[in-house]
Structure 1
Amino acid sequence: MLGAPLHPYTAALASSVPGNTVRGARLESIPGRPPVLTAAASGCAFADRCSFAVDRCRNERPAPTRIDGRTVLCHRAAEVGANA
């Protein structure tokens, strides 16, 4: 659900798409390079590009968590959902 994302990377992607912002507004950009999803990461694959990332995100892979009937792999999903 792009209207109420629980993962911060999804929220950043949604705000960088033309048409999801106010006409004439500057599009958001996501710093860094896209994650290599085929490479084994020790933490969250999106940590390097996530504004919510903390040390735990870089070092510990998130487990699937159910929030509002949806599954998300993010240590801070509850905080992201509260800010959506």
Structure 2
Amino acid sequence: MITSMTLHFIRQLIIHTICNVTGEPAKEVRALDRVVLNTRDWEQVFSRLEATLDIQTGMMTSTERALSIDALAHEIHSKLSDDLST
């Protein structure tokens, strides 16, 4: 069970996951304001993040295929914090 994760750690995990799925270098992914993925990569990224963090983001079925790493990190951090407080 996850007891505490910093926002920075979650952000790095998102970047790491995107890089593992797409093969893009971390430096290039970090430089993007929004990351655009094809459907296959989108599903792989969120499947891996959800499995690693043992959460449901609801993003697997989203029709959007672009994301802000910072916004997603904040959303996940908030979700994890909420889950820990219940």
What is the TM-score with the length of structure 2 in the denominator?
Answer: 0.32
Of the two structures, which has the highest relative contact order with CA contacts closer than 8 Å and spacing of 6 or more?
Answer: 2
Q: TM-score, normalization: structure 1?
A: 0.32
Structure 1 or 2, whichever has the larger Rg, is: 1
